[in-house]
Amino acid sequence: MVVVAIIAPTSTIGSPLVQAIQSTQHKVVTVSRSPQPELSAKGIPTHVATYLPGGHATLVAFLKAQKVHTIISGIWSLTGHVESHLAVLAAAKEAGVRRFAPSEWSVPVYQTIGLYAMKLEVWQECLKSGLEVTRFQCGIWINTLGYGATKEPEEALAGYHGPTVGIFMDKGAATLVKDGNDELVFSRLQDIVPLVVKSLDLPKWEHDSFIVGDRTTFKNILNVAQQVTGRSFEVKYLSEHDIDQGLQSSDIIEKLSSQFYKALANRELSFGQGQTLNKTFPNVGMITVEQFIKRHFGR
């Protein structure tokens, strides 16, 4: 049994991790920017942190008092991402925490996807920390396709409320880069969480913890979506020039989407060709994008 601290316990990844760890032999505690009375009512210790230098001593004291062994972060913000992680990392080192996983949960592409550059800065500091660290990389969440689900819509989204790229199930539309045949990795949130929990029992964490639920293309997904729903999707094909124009947009969502499309065009979104957590733990079921669409959009 180890004590695991989840940072940002109400985030899309943090909340199910708290619930999942509760059902194991491990103990879960949380660190949040605001009080969490619902967690406290369940007997889950929660520390309200500012992540600023003034909150360092109290965070260290909490981690020590709870004998935290592992920290997993669900922090994601466009401002304060680096500062918050470095504050937690500094407290973890002083408190004697053994393992640390920063907030990744997507694709290890830091240059093309400029908004992820902050993650690289955090990761570099993790490598210098002396702690045992890993990056949970799971590709695009299949749940991003859940908007407009006609069956079990809450399960389809699983708390996700961010942008969608490539296939827009609710709009009956698709955006394909060139011919749409470049591979990318998808994983469903509900399949990611149990693998992360199982990794707590591994004797050693590798620096890269890849999770590959499905390796497919947007062209394949489009074909499945049209067959399952019986709809003819409106398809837009992006050239390299179109993508470069989108990269200049002042709209943050359009710019982020264009960065993903650029990474796809560069063939940077297909990873984890070797060992993955789902190969290490083959008994954890992983559903494919096709199975997801049939489950939530089937007629």
Output the pLDDT for position 99.
98
Q: Average pLDDT of 5-21?
A: 96
For the chain, give every domain's residue range: 3-133, 140-186+213-271+282-297
pLDDT tops 90 at residue 79: no
pTM for the full model? 0.94
The answer for 275, left when phi > 0, alpha when psi is -120 to 50, beta otherwise, is: beta
Contacts of 107 (CB under 8 A, 6+ apart): 113, 116, 137, 139, 140, 185, 263, 268, 269, 271
Average pLDDT score over residue span 240-260: 90
Beta strand spans in 142-253 (E)? 167-168, 173-177, 183-187, 208-210, 214-217, 234-238
* pLDDT score, position 230: 96
Whose tokens are 């909340």? That residue is 15
| Residue 1, CB-side half-sphere exposure with 13 Å CA sphere | 9
C-alpha to C-alpha distance for 41 and 3, rounded to whole angstroms: 19
Give 55 or 127, the one with higher predicted confidence. 127
Q: What angle do CA 269, 271, 276 make, to 5 degrees?
A: 140
pLDDT surpasses 70 at 53: no
Say whether pLDDT at 77 is over 80.
no
**pLDDT of res. 212:** 96
Q: What is the mean pLDDT of residues 111-134?
A: 94
What 3-state DSSP class applies to 203? coil
Confidence of residue 52 (pLDDT cuts 50, 70, 90): low
Q: Which residues contact 69 (CB under 8 A, 6 or more apart)?
A: 2, 3, 4, 97, 98, 99
- 140-186+213-271+282-297: CATH, from 3.90.25.10, 3.30.930.10, 1.10.3720.10, 2.40.30.10: 3.90.25.10
Crossing angle for the helix pair 81-95 and 117-128, nearest 10 degrees? 10
> Helices 56-65 and 81-95, interaxial angle, to 10°?
50
Phi and psi at 123, nearest 5°, equal: -60, -40
What's the whole-number mean pLDDT along residues 239-263?
Answer: 91
> Where residue 296 falls among pLDDT bands split at 50, 70, 90?
very high
| Per-chain mean pLDDT for the chain | 94
Indicate the SS3 state at residue 227. helix
Q: How would you classify residue 63: left for phi > 0, otherwise alpha for psi between -120 and 50, otherwise beta?
A: alpha
With tokens 């760890």, the residue in question is 21
- The whole-number pLDDT of residue 237 equals 95
Strand partners, 167: 174
Task: Answer yes or no: is pLDDT of 281 > 90.
Answer: yes
pLDDT digits over 137-196, tens only?
A: 999 999 999 999 999 999 999 999 999 999 999 999 999 999 999 999 999 999 999 999
Separation of CA 41 from chain center: 27
Cross-strand partners of 27: 3
Helix residue spans in 161-251 (DSSP H):
189-199, 218-229, 240-246
Q: In Å, what is the CA distance from 239 to each residue of 28, 197, 242, 263?
A: 47, 41, 5, 13
Say which CATH topology domain 3-133 has: Rossmann fold (3.40.50)
Q: In residues, how long is the chain?
A: 299
Coil, strand or helix at 154: helix
Mean pLDDT, range 230-248, rounded to an integer: 93
